[in-house]
Structure 1
Amino acid sequence: MSRFFWLLVGAALTVFLMLKGRELLHKLTPRGVAEQVERKGHEAAAGFGTFMATFRSAMAEREAELRSELDLSESTN
């Protein structure tokens, strides 16, 4: 019974390693690397978009504060 158990454990481990090995192999192929680069590029672009939106709203808020403190009218630019 013990040998049968270890045979099943070995078979399960082999299947697991084969599947993970395929994933790793795919990540190392040119197509896999391109997919990773594309995904990271989209993440970076989304992060930059969020940063710019936050920056613009903070800039507009600060400009409104300064105009209020200096009693300036709204710019017509």
Structure 2
Amino acid sequence: MRRLFWMMVGAGLAVYLVLRGRDLLHRLTPRGVQEQVAAKGHQAAAGFGDFAATFRAAMAEREAELRRELNIPATTTT
């Protein structure tokens, strides 16, 4: 019974290592590296878009605040 238990533990560990090794091998291939770079690029672009939107909103809010404090009428752009 003890041998069967350890044989099953070894088989499970072998299956786990083979699957993890296959994933690691895929990540190290040129296609896997390309996928990782593309994913990081999309994350960076999304982060920059969020930053730019937050910056524009804060800038507009500060401009409105300054206009109120200095009694400057709001400009109308057409």
Q: TM-score, normalised by structure 2?
A: 0.93
Structure 1 counterpart of 2:57: 57
Mapped to 1, the partners of 2:15 and 2:64 lie a distance apart of: 63
Deviation readout 1:18-45 (Å, 9 max, x if unpaired): 0000000001111101101100111111
Matches within 5 A, 1:19-30: 19-30=19-30
Give the gaps of 5 or more residues in structure 1.
none
Aligned positions, number? 77
Distance apart, 1:49 and its partner CA: 0.5
Give the whole-Å Cα distance in 2 for the aligned partners of 1:34 and 1:45. 16
Read off the aligned partner of 2:6 and give its amino acid letter: W
User: Aligned equivalents of 2:69 and 2:4: distance in 1?
Assistant: 82
CA RMSD of aligned residues (A): 0.9
| Structure 2, gaps ≥5 residues long | none
* Runs of 4+, deviation exceeding 2 Å: none
| Percent of aligned pairs sharing the same letter | 68
The TM-score normalised by the length of structure 1 is 0.94
What residue is the counterpart of 2:9 in the other structure? 9
Letter in 1 for 2:59: M
